[in-house]
Amino acid sequence: MDGLFRGILGILLGAGLYSEVYPFIQGNLVTVGAYGKLTLPALVGINHWVLIAPLVLVFGWFLLRLDRKGL
């Protein structure tokens, strides 16, 4: 029972600390890495099928190998 109360106290203290620090987090850290909708093909600058086709082949090969090993 003692551990339960310590856990509840930790949850309450953590929630209180988070609510005090949240304005700083929202103003500074949330904007870091906010690039909008960014995909790997858009980042590399190629057509999405150029990435999809090799990935299908690689994953298919991998699943076939797992099946043959009996995993």
Q: Tell me: the pLDDT tens digits for 23-51?
A: 888 887 777 777 778 888 988 899 999 99
Of 27 and 68, more confident: 68
Q: Which residues, 6 or more positions from 39, have their beta carbon under 8 angstroms from its beta carbon?
A: 48
The structure tokens listed for 71 are: 């995993």
The separation between the first and the last C-alpha atoms of the chain, rounded to the nearest angstrom, is 43
Q: Give ∠ CA 45-54-69 in degrees, rounded to 5.
A: 150
Asked if 43 and 66 sit in the same domain, the reply is: yes
What single-letter amino acid sits at 45?
G
Do 30 and 4 reside in the same domain of the chain?
yes
Residue-number span of the structural domain to which 42 is assigned? 35-71
- The CA distance from 71 to 57, in Å, is 19
Do 41 and 63 fall into the same domain? yes
Mark whether 30 and 43 lie in a shared domain: no
pTM: 0.45
Same domain, 25 and 40: no
Number of domains composing the chain = 2
Tell whether the model's pLDDT for residue 1 goes beyond 90: no
